[in-house]
Amino acid sequence: MCVLGTRPEAIKLVPVVLALAARGVVVTLCSTGQQRELVRAALDDFGLIPDIDLDLMQPDQSPEAFVSIAMPLLRHAITRLSTAMVIVQGDTATTLAGAMAAAYARVPVAHVEAGLRSGAAEPFPEDMHRRVIAQLATHHFAPTQKAQAALVREGIAWGTISVTGNTVIDALRLAEARLGADPSLQARVAEAFPPLREGRALVLVTAHRRENHAHMAAIAEAVATLAERHDVDVVVPLHPNPASGAMLQARLERVANVALVPPLGYLAFVTLLRRARLVLTDSGGVQEEAPAFGCPVLVLRETTERPEGIEAGAARLVGTDSATIVAAAGELIENEAVHAAMATAILPYGDGYAADRIAAIVAQEVVAR
């Protein structure tokens, strides 16, 4: 069983589901509904639908409330289906609930994207979730050697950790293949966002994280200033959480060259990433996706659990101070040498075959059981 609840989980588990199916492993795709519509849109881009949809999310629901509801329902599903292994991804409330449910049911837990650590209390509660899940998992699929080392420092047995690369690179490869194989699909995907002017730099902005809710006004001000000072098109997909989306909309809806769009499907987002000159984001996954297209990333956070991108030079931490964001983004827009240095950084997240490595290990374990 693959348990997922958010858009990033769906994107990063799709390659694993497909790789397992190619090996003849029967996979139950279970969605908790944490981001129900976003998950369905992401899965639809790859022709998948959940086998189980718990539809659990309620307005203003706290992570702990969500986990307390999801965990017993997931445990029931795991037991009812005689599940041989539960696969979870990342660090969300769904991931924690899935890992705990499997552990209570005495079913092995495989954690995709294991070992990410920020070295700080933030992001909360995600970093806490990662550490707890590491104690519950029996198989740790680390995207990088740095993630592997973090797990070893916490006492996780070396033999249970496999460095696989990050499955988001696999997802990008699948998305590009779908787009490349069907020109009409490219045209339909482009309808999801406004026309982009030829020859004008595109700046893509995503901001939604819980720890940044108090800083959304500053982020919005930075985006508005950037758009007003530079000859660029800015596209901002608005997150459905009003603590982020509504705040950005209030400041940016009247800025001439800023396009506010609803949450994008994955193929539409990949299309924009391929066009973008730079990305401003507080997302984790976008820090991995953008460098795959040679697109510099300015991370709107003080810390990141993905230091590999920073160390490689593909991403830079800029925090949430408006002036700092505007200066860093302006430099990447205007200075070709600075942009080229980030755009040509070596991708640290693998070769696009992480899911195959994961599927090989999982299939062998399932057959053995």
Query: Is the model's pLDDT at 268 over the cut of 80?
Result: yes
Please confirm, yes or no, whether 306 is among the known catalytic residues.
no
Q: Which of these is catalytic: 9, 91, 233, 288?
A: 91
Q: Which residue has the higher pLDDT, 30 or 199?
A: 30
264: confidence class by pLDDT, cuts 50, 70, 90: confident
What would the pLDDT profile of 110-147 be if each residue is shown by its tens digit? Answer: 999 999 998 887 788 899 999 999 999 999 999 999 99
Check whether 193 has a pLDDT greater than 90.
Answer: no
Point out the catalytic residue in the list 113, 127, 233, 282: 113
Q: What is the pLDDT of residues 7-29, one digit of tens each?
A: 999 999 999 999 999 999 999 99
In the set 9, 45, 122, 126, the catalytic residue is 126
Catalytic residue list contains 239? yes
Q: Percentage of the chain surpassing pLDDT 90?
A: 75
pLDDT at 124: 85
Please report the pLDDT score of residue 200 as a whole number: 85
For 300-354, the pLDDT digits (tens) are: 999 999 999 999 999 999 999 999 999 999 999 999 999 999 999 998 999 999 9
Catalytic (active site) residue 191:
no
- With a pLDDT cut of 70, the percent of the chain lying above it is 99
Q: Is 96's pLDDT higher than 80?
A: yes
Out of 208, 209, 301, 306, pick the active-site residue. 208
Given 23, 173, 210, 316, the catalytic residue: 210
> What does the pLDDT read at residue 139?
98
Is the pTM higher than 0.95? The answer reads no
According to the model, what pLDDT value does residue 369 have?
67
Among this protein's residues, is 113 annotated catalytic? yes
Secondary structure of the chain as H, E, C letters = CEEECCHHHHHHHHHHHHHHHHCCCCCCEEECCCCHHHHHHHHHCCCCCCCEECCCCCCCCCHHHHHHHHHHHHHHHHHHCCCCCEEEECCCHHHHHHHHHHHHCCCCEEEECCCCCCCCCCCCCHHHHHHHHHHHCCEEEECCHHHHHHHHHCCCCHHHEEECCCHHHHHHHHHHHHHHHCHHHHHHHHCCCCCCCCCCEEEEEECCCHHHHHHHHHHHHHHHHHHHHCCEEEEEECCCCCCCHHHHHHHHCCCCCEEEECCCCHHHHHHHHHHCCEEEECCCHHHHHHHHHCCCEEECCCCCCCHHHHHHCCEEECCCCHHHHHHHHHHHHHCHHHHHHHHCCCCCCCCCCHHHHHHHHHHHHHHHC
Q: Which of 128, 5, 141, 125 is nearest to 73 (CA)?
A: 5
User: If we measure between CA atoms, which residue out of 288, 333, 337 comes closest to residue 315?
Assistant: 288
